Amino acid sequence: MHDGGYVLTGYAATAAVLAWYRWRLARRGARARRLTESLRGRPSTVRRTRR
């Protein structure tokens, strides 16, 4: 595949960027939940969607 390096880099970058953003959202959500729990002493009332 001529110029295959650019193409593969592009597809890999797309997957990496989307996966990175999803991971970052998961971390932010977990941090916010921990903060709420530590301050209120009980779990957040915002529904947890992943177990």
Partner 1 sequence: MMVIERLLARAGTRQVQRLLGLATLAGLVGTAALGLVVVPPDAEQGDVQRLMYVHVPAAWLAFLSFGVVFVASFAYLRTGRIHWDRVGVASTEIGVVFCSLTLLLGSLWGRPVWGTWWTWDPRLTTTLVLLLIYLGYLSLRRVADSPSQRARWSAVVGVVGFVDVPIVHMSVVWWRSLHQEASVVRLGAPTMDGRMLATLLFATVAFSLGYGYLMVVRLRVGRLEDHAAGSVMSRPAPRAHAPRRPALVGDEQDA
- For partner 1, the binding residues (CB under 8 A) are 1-4, 6-7, 9-11, 13-15, 17-18, 21-22, 25-26, 28-29, 31-33, 35-36, 39-40, 44-47, 49-50
Q: Tell me the closest approach of the beta carbon of residue 8 to partner 1, in angstroms.
A: 8
Q: Is 33 exposed, middle or buried (0-12, 13-18, 19+ CB in 10 A)?
A: middle
Q: Spell out the residues 6+ positions from residue 46 whose beta carbon is closer than 8 angstroms to its own.
A: 33
Q: Tell me the closest approach of the beta carbon of residue 9 to partner 1, in angstroms.
A: 6
Question: How far is residue 37's CA from residue 41's CA, in Å, rounded to a whole number?
Answer: 5
Q: Tell me the closest approach of the beta carbon of residue 23 to partner 1, in angstroms.
A: 11
